[in-house]
Structure 1
Amino acid sequence: MLSRLEQALARFEARQQCFSAAVEVTQSMIDTLLGSKERVSTTTRLPKGVDSLTLKKIITAFNEHKETAFTAQQMGDLVGVSRSTARRYLEYMLEAGQVRADQSYGSIGRPERCYKICQ
């Protein structure tokens, strides 16, 4: 019983973080956070360059690795698409409120954006 409460509180905290990080709240963000995360509606118009099948693969990868934050390169390698394609999908998901982003600073080079699914 306590673990269910902990899971519910963790989901609430993740949702709060996604809402507070968002510039604006969209309907797709609300739909995602309130339970339709795993399916991509065929009636939803996706922007040019975003295909529902590839989007489903990325969502599935996130759901299989819920605690992992991915760079665009890592997600691209996992799903089998290029880094730039993965970044396009990850940025779309960030805008929709499905993922949150953070900067990862290594010891050398530019910082990388890491994306994590909102639970």
Structure 2
Amino acid sequence: MRRSLGLGRFCLGLLLALALLGISQGAWAEMAIPAITSKAGAGGQTYSLSLQTLLILTSLSFLPAILLMMTSFTRIIIVLSLLRSALGTPASPPNQVLIGLSLFLTFFVMSPVLDKIY
């Protein structure tokens, strides 16, 4: 008796799940993500989503290198780590705090340069 009752619940649950999947097919027909366009003359050229993703991820991978090469971030983090060693506290403040402070100080020091750029 119990076995047939469990099988009935299973079949009912399966039918309910299939009905929900059938109802939600309209959600799968959603519009695509708009592509990046470049205006080259009269018409625009669109790039595929995979190429857009490749370009965005490539530019994101170069951001840390640009931060290290073109700003005073490296000097500030070295000075803060030397200051931490001079105070005799090798683990306090943690490295995450030092990196946050050096990022803030880097943006503060580089703000006149960014103002001239824009």
Q: What is the TM-score of this pair, normalised by structure 2?
A: 0.27
Higher RCO, Cα 8 Å, sep 6+: 1
Greater gyration radius: 2
Q: What is the TM-score of this pair, normalised by structure 1?
A: 0.27
More helix by share: 2
